[in-house]
Chains A and B, each alone.
Chain A
Amino acid sequence: MRRKQITALLVTGAMVLGTISGCSKGTAATGASSKEDGGIKEFTAFFAVPGDEINDDNEIQQHLAELTGAKVKETWLTGQTAEEAVGTLIAGGEYPDFICGSDGTSQLYDAGALVALDDYIDDYPNIKNFFTKLEWEQLRQADGHIYWIPQFNNSYEKDMQTTHNDEAFWIQTRVLKWAGYPKITTMDEYFDLIERYQEANPTMEDGTKNIPYTILCDDWRYFCLENAPLFLDGYPNDGSCIVDLDTKKVKDYNTTPTAKRYFQKLNEEFKKGIVDPESFTQIYDEYITKLSTGRVLGMIDQWWDFYVHVNDALKQQGLEDQGCNYVPLPITIDKGVKNRWHTSGDTLNVGSGLSITVSCKDVRGALKFVDDLLSEEAITLRNWGEKDVDYLVDQDGLFYRTPEIRMKVSNTAYKASHLCPYSYFPVWTGMSQDGINAAKPELQPNEFLDSLPTNVQECLEAYGCKTYVEMVGENEIPGPWYPIYTFVGTMTTATPGGTAWIKMRELKHEYLPKVVMAPDFEAGWDEYLSAYETCNPQAFLDEVQPEVDRRIKIAEEAAAN
């Protein structure tokens, strides 16, 4: 009996300890290393965004290693949010050499995980020239140092934008073609068109049922559901709130009359079976799979959120010929409201970028690599690929691709084994430094047009457009505060406004789908409004307003000097 008791005691002990140790959260971070391998330095990088890992023996990565003397093993976000991944790294205290924290950038800064770059930048001409002096100033944090280099939206020479890389109501070209390319400018017209098409053509050519309209609502990607009222009222993408273009006052878009009309419309369409019943329970992968089958007629999304996987899949399956590609429409709530879905010009996202961490043992080596990656030769390798393999050059020096090459470079296996864009390292867009070509194939006017599926070409032509951008029209950057989401992204629970912002997000995640699915819309909407008020949204708005004012003031001072 006694022995039995002792055994039992040991078992219990072990169990209790097991329970207790459950709360010590350790994680093995990717060990920072910059080991030398045949003269080639190796760095590690983590990007807190989803991405595709490339093979270890990737061919262009090898070319770039010979060119720059270094290579980087990139890892991406999988199945977590950026904040979770970054929070776990901070708890572990070990970081990869390079990091892009995305939504978790301010946490990295708060944790002292990043190396201040301002003392180094002058020694690396390509990095230094990547931004103007004023832009570098804007990147300084509260402590006066620069910790990250924003990678995107930086055009060399001139803006060559051909795609609308932002949010829009998208629609398949087959729907527009069927209706004879009508002019669609309001939300009601948009859904009316989808309804009519769906009634006439309930299935695809092979008999698969269409999904008329789907809404991605997975985690942070629920912008596809929630921020349309902002655009419908004709405001540009400030992201988390409206900044009134005249008064420069911050306003909430979650409770406007337009928001109510938008959600009421979705509610009606949900009851009619137009809105995909799985909208609010599908995860991102399921959503992308749905779009890739060509079944979905329309949705709201950001172009960057779907185009890579979806367009390549449509191409590989031959669904381009059935008109399954998406084009954006300039939708607003009523006729006469000016749409601002597209803002042209470079918007500097001061909220996140590429950083070097305190775990990096060779900061200069790391910066040299970033600097080398910005050279003309490196950028061409990253964006266009290998000469005569991934692109050809005509007698004028213009790069172009053949249909066979385009098919090849959209193949997933080929992308992993051959192409290496180092896409989360700083990169020029716009023109190439050779002065002839565009920095990327999709920006090269002739290549862009030739690479478009016939159906999209026909559609753009019918609307008198040459690019996707012309479908929605261009707008100037509205003011120096724009976009204010770069500030909101840095708010944390440390302030009442930040806490309110997180509570609002969480509440909308639950209540907005409920509103859309509500049997009685009015009751559902009232329930949402009263729950929304408990989050104290005013505290959030009150903290954003001073930042808008501050940014305007800085710009005015800079202009005066």
Chain B
Amino acid sequence: MASIGKVKKERINWKEIKKQKVLLLLSAGYVIYGFIFCYLPLAGWLMAFENYKPKAGFFHSEFIGLGKFRQLFLDDGFIRVIRNTLAMGVINLVTTMVAAIVFAILLNEVKSQGGKKVVQTISYLPHFLSWIIVTGILHDALSGTGIVNDLLVRFHLLMEPLNFFAYPKYFWWIVAFANVWKETGWNAIIYLASITAIDTALYEAAAIDGAGRWARIKYITLPGIKPTIIILLLMNAGNVLNAGFEVQYLLGNGLVQSVSQTIDIYVLKWGISQGDYSLGTAAGIFKSVVSITIILIANEMAKRAGEERLF
């Protein structure tokens, strides 16, 4: 935000518009797209404030103000899904970021170009699998007769196969593991790119000064990619509440439902399944508001710390 007096604000006039007409035309497509697909559906938020019935439609459903929000926050179930969503969101954010950074640095240290390419390609392939396949693999691998139990029992780490999905205490970590497995290779690409942007002269100078590998990672690579890390952290912070739907929906079961259900599953269950579209919309609005708030707070914190920020 240019402060007053610092930069003279240019007035928009016809000449300026003419000069930039190609640019304006190019961006028009996105504005129209954004308007139709992002802003028009917002009219649907109206549903959250009325007792919406599909038969009566938007205009003839009873208006009830904040009644649905009150119902939402009086429901223990909703408080529980907020907790689950936040917990899984934060765990996923931290584990996937750390894993991607570590992986990128390790990969960068590999000297053989061929080996590096092969590992990188293989590691990002899981990103292209859909969740239904990944959860299928996990379900098999972690089942009583799956490979994980088989190994644990054979190495005498366990006496009996352990049914991982039957205990709430494991669930969040299984979800985190699934995310790490699926996304590490993909997320590492951006860090690898930013590592390549670091001036190689720095490494040479450090090597002459007697810095070992570890010291070079610590004093050159990590500080070099810090801006990237911060920006990605900020962008992902807004996604914390998007902790997932498919994974929890597909891996969950009755025994772990108190820790497995996220806001999205809650919306599906009460909004869609029980036909209470108003309640579902209210939960969705709550989620959006919290997401925006989190981004604003995270951005402000980055600004205060004098780091890169989004706006």
Chain A residues in the interface with B (C-beta under 8 A): 2, 5, 8-9, 11-12, 14-26, 79, 81, 83-84, 87-88, 90-91, 93, 107, 110-113, 217-218, 222, 277-278, 280-281, 283, 286, 492-493, 502, 506, 509-510, 512-514, 517
> How far does the alpha carbon of A401 sit from the alpha carbon of B69 in the complex, in Å?
62
Q: Which residue of A has the minimal Cβ distance to B144?
A: A278
Name the residue of chain A whose CB is nearest to the CB of B34: A17
Contact of B255 among A111, A283, A510 (CB under 8 A): A510
Q: A-B pairs with the 6 shortest C-beta distances?
A: A23-B284, A24-B41, A87-B272, A509-B254, A83-B273, A111-B54
Q: At the interface, yes or no: B216 with Cβ under 8 Å from chain A?
A: no
A19 to B41, CA, bound (A): 13
- What residues of chain A lie closer than 8 Å to B39, measured between beta carbons? 17
Are A88 and B34 in touch, CB under 8 angstroms? no
Interface string of B13-41 (1 = CB under 8 A from A): 00000000000000000000010011101
> In residues 96-110 of chain B, which contact A (Cβ within 8 Å)?
none
Which listed residue, A81, A492, A510, touches B275 by the CB 8 Å rule?
A: A492
Bound Cα distance A460, B21 (Å): 86
Task: Decide yes or no whether B295 CB sits under 8 A from chain A.
Answer: yes
Tell me if A19 and B144 are in contact (CB < 8 A).
no
Chain B's interface: helix, strand, loop or mixed, by majority?
A: helix
| Complex-state Cα separation, A111 to B56, whole angstroms | 8
Known: A84-B272, A493-B274. A90 touches B54 (CB 8 A): yes
CB distance from A80 to the nearest CB of B (A): 9
Q: Contact check, A22 vs B242: say whether CB atoms are below 8 A apart.
A: yes
- State A181–B55 Cα separation when bound (angstroms): 58
The reply to whether B284 and A110 form a contact with Cβ atoms under 8 Å apart is no
Chain B residues lying within 8 Å of A217, measured Cβ to Cβ, are: 253-254
A141 to chain B: closest CB distance in Å?
13
CB 8 Å contact bits of B43-58 with A (1 = contact, 0 = none): 0110000000111000
Known contacts A22-B242, A87-B275; A110 and B255 CB within 8 A of each other: no
A112 touches B165 (CB 8 A): no
Q: Using an 8 Å CB-CB cutoff, how does the interface string of B268-280 with A read, 1 for contact, 0 for none?
A: 1011111111001
**Chain B residues, CB < 8 A from A21:** 37-38, 41
Interchain CA distance A283-B140 in the complex, whole Å: 11
A9-B311, A506-B257, A509-B254 given; A15·B273 CB < 8 A: no
Say how far B190's CB is from chain A's closest CB, in angstroms.
14
What mask results when residues 158 to 202 of chain B are scored 1 for a CB within 8 Å of chain A, else 0?
Answer: 000101011000000000000000000000000000000000000
6 additional A-B residue pairs with CB within 8 Å, beyond A83-B272, A277-B161, A281-B166: A23-B284, A24-B42, A24-B44, A79-B132, A280-B253, A281-B255
Taken together as a complex, chains A and B put the C-alpha atoms of A113 and B275 apart, in Å, by 13
- Choose one: B257, B277, B309; the contact of A91 (CB below 8 Å): B277
Asked if A218 meets B275 with Cβ closer than 8 Å, knowing A8-B310, A9-B311, A22-B288, the reply is: no
Contacting pair A277 B163 (CB below 8 A): yes
Task: A14 to B291: give the CA distance in the assembly, Å.
Answer: 13
Residue of A nearest to B234 (CB): A12
CB of B258 within 8 A of chain A? yes
A49 CB to closest chain B CB, in angstroms? Answer: 15
Query: B139 at interface (Cβ–Cβ under 8 A)?
Result: yes
B206 at the interface (CB under 8 A from A): no
| Residue on B nearest A508 in the bound complex, by CB | B254
Max chain A CB contacts within 10 Å: which of B275, B292, B310? B275
Across-interface contacts of B53 in A (CB, < 8 A): 110-111
**Which of A12, A278, A281 is B311 in contact with, Cβ under 8 Å?**
A12
With contact pairs A23-B281, A110-B53, A217-B254 given, residues A280 and B166 touching in the complex (Cβ less than 8 Å): yes
Q: Which residues of B contact A502 (CB under 8 A)?
A: 274
Name B114-166 residues within 8 Å CB distance of A: 132, 139, 143-144, 161, 163, 165-166
Contact A493 to B270, CB < 8 A, known contacts A90-B54, A110-B54: yes
Q: Is the CB of A22 within 8 A of B253?
A: no
B165/A281 in contact, CB under 8 A: yes
Residues from chain B with Cβ under 8 Å of A222 in the complex: 254
Q: How far is the CA of A517 from the CA of B238 in the complex (A)?
A: 39
Contact with A12, one of B37, B165, B295 (Cβ below 8 angstroms): B295
Which of B7, B55, B275, B285 is close to A23, meaning CB atoms less than 8 Å apart? B285
Contact A91 B42 (CB under 8 A): no
Q: Which of B235, B272, B295, B310 is A25 in contact with, Cβ under 8 Å?
A: B272
* Distance A195 CA – B310 CA, assembled complex (angstroms): 65
Given A11-B310, A111-B55, A493 contacting B42 (CB threshold 8 A): no
Assembled-state Cα–Cα distance A208/B292 (Å): 55
Question: What are 6 A-B pairs at a CB distance below 8 A?
Answer: A19-B287, A25-B280, A26-B41, A83-B273, A84-B273, A222-B254
Q: Across the interface, do B311 and A8 meet the contact criterion of CB distance under 8 Å? A: yes
Cross-interface CB contact of A493 among B165, B272, B276, cutoff 8 Å: B276
Cβ-defined contact, A15 with B139, below 8 A: no
Report yes or no: B271 in contact with A87, Cβ–Cβ below 8 A: yes
Which listed residue, B242, B267, B276, touches A19 by the CB 8 Å rule? Answer: B242
CA distance A107 to B2 in the complex (A): 55
Closest to B253 in A: A281
Known contacts being A110-B55, A281-B166, is A91 close to B272, with CB within 8 Å? yes
User: How far apart are the CA atoms of A482 and B83 in the complex, in Å?
Assistant: 43
Chain A residues, CB < 8 A from B54: 90-91, 93, 110-113
Within the complex, what minimum Cβ distance (angstroms) separates A148 from chain B? Answer: 17
